[in-house]
Copies of this chain bind each other. A is one copy, B any other.
Amino acid sequence: MGQETERRFLVNKALWEQLEKPEGTLYLQGYLLNENDRNVRVRIAGDKGFITVKGTGEGITSLEYEYEIPKADAEEMLVKFRPAGTEKIRYRLPASGGLTWEVDVFQKANEGLIIAEIELEQENQSFEKPAWLGQEITGEERYANASLALHAYKAW
């Protein structure tokens, strides 16, 4: 299991698009379960599949259990269960101090939304903020992937 300390930011689209960046990976994901205090996500990330259980309720926020599964299983579950989900292209950019920016460029019903995440070892850890970084949205419920699956950005 893992405890995540993650900070999230909007990304300035114009600056982001000018950026030279590594190739992104297509992420398709759906929520088999999407309740107040937990969700179960099936994800295809490039040529890999994953199943993830996340705690989102009081006292269990940031519990996360992720397991790699055959991509074919993940595809089949997304087809058969038709769970509400999100589609995005994820870019991984190295940051100073051995950290990594994960930048998600959302597609389809969430097109126009770009979110950058950085995972920290401690809550008060400092990190460099690139020029393309916008407003902080850490903890803002409506930007959570599980929320975006149900209430898409384009419909806000």
Give the interface of A toward B (CB within 8 A).
1, 32-33, 35, 37-38, 40, 42, 51, 53, 55, 60, 63, 65, 67, 69, 72-73, 76-77, 80-81
Contact = CB atoms under 8 A, between A and B. Distances in A.
Determine which residue in A33, A63, A76 has the highest number of CB atoms from chain B within 10 A of its CB, and name it: A33
A33 B51 CA distance: 14
Contacts of A37: 81
Closest 7 CB pairs of A and B: A33-B33, A40-B40, A60-B80, A65-B73, A1-B76, A1-B73, A67-B67
A117 B60 CA distance: 36
Protomer copies:
2
B73 A69 contact: no
A65 B55 contact: no
Contact of A69 (B35, B65, B77): B65
Given A33-B40, A53-B77, 20 more contacts: A1-B72, A1-B73, A1-B77, A32-B33, A32-B38, A32-B53, A33-B35, A38-B81, A40-B40, A42-B53, A51-B53, A51-B65, A51-B67, A55-B80, A55-B81, A60-B80, A65-B69, A65-B73, A65-B77, A67-B67
